[in-house]
Amino acid sequence: MNDNHLSVSVASLRLSNPTMLASGILGYSAETMEEIAKSGASAVVTKSVGLKPRTGYANPTVVQTKCGLINAMGLPNPGIEEFAKEIKAAKAALAATPLIVSVYGFSEEEYATVAKKAAEAGADAIELNVSCPHVKETGSEIGQNPEILSKVVRKVKSSVDKPVFVKLSPNVTDIAEIAETAEKAGADALTAINTVKAMAIDTETAIPILSNKIGGLSGPAIKPIAIRCVYEIYERVKVPIVGCGGVTNWRDAVEFMLAGASAVQIGTAVASKGLSVFGAVSRGVEAYLKRKGFKSVNEIVGLSHRS
Ligand code: RRO
A 10 A CB-CB count for 48 gives: 27
* Residues annotated as catalytic (active site), given as ranges: 132
Look at strands 62-65 and 196-199 and give their pairing.
unpaired
Give the per-residue pLDDT at 3: 54
132, 138, 197: residue to mutate for ligand 1 pocket, most atoms within 8 A of CB: 132
Q: How does the average pLDDT of the chain come out, rounded?
A: 95
* Separation between Cα atoms, residue 270 and residue 273, nearest integer Å: 5
Ligand 1 atom closest to 73 (CA): 3
Model confidence over 47-60: pLDDT tens digits? 999 999 999 999 99
Looking at 91-95, 160-164, 252-256, 293-297, which range is the least confident one? 91-95
Ligand 1 atom closest to 72 (CA): 3
Ligand 1 atom closest to 75 (CA): 1
Ligand 1 atom closest to 61 (CA): 3
- Indicate whether 151 pLDDT > 50: yes
Model confidence over 77-128: pLDDT tens digits? 999 999 999 999 999 999 899 999 999 999 999 999 999 999 999 999 999 9
Q: Global pTM? A: 0.97
Distance 217 CA to ligand 1 centre (A): 10
23, 54, 75: residue to mutate for ligand 1 pocket, most atoms within 8 A of CB: 75
Model confidence over 21-33: pLDDT tens digits? 999 988 778 888 8
Alpha helix (H) residue ranges in the chain: 30-39, 80-94, 108-121, 140-143, 146-157, 175-184, 223-234, 250-259, 268-273, 276-292
- Indicate whether 2 pLDDT > 60: no
- Indicate whether 231 pLDDT > 70: yes
The residues lining ligand 1, judged by C-beta closer than 6 Å to any ligand atom, are 24, 48, 71-75, 129, 131-133, 139, 194-195, 216
How large is the average pLDDT for residues 272-297?
97
Model confidence over 155-192: pLDDT tens digits? 999 999 999 999 999 999 999 999 999 999 999 999 99
- Indicate whether 219 pLDDT > 80: yes
Distance 293 CA to ligand 1 centre (A): 39
Give the per-residue pLDDT at 140: 87
- Which candidate, 57, 106, 66, 65, places its Cα nearest to that of 213? 57
CB 248 within 8 A of CB 192: no
Give the per-residue pLDDT at 153: 98
User: Using 50, 70 and 90 to split pLDDT, how confident is the model at 200?
Assistant: very high
25, 70, 134: residue to mutate for ligand 1 pocket, most atoms within 8 A of CB: 134
Give the per-residue pLDDT at 1: 41
3-57+78-197+219-306: what CATH class? alpha beta
Model confidence over 129-143: pLDDT tens digits? 999 988 888 888 888
CB 134 within 8 A of CB 216: yes
Looking at 125-139, 243-257, 292-306, which range is the least confident one? 125-139
Give the per-residue pLDDT at 26: 84
* Separation between Cα atoms, residue 118 and residue 300, nearest integer Å: 33
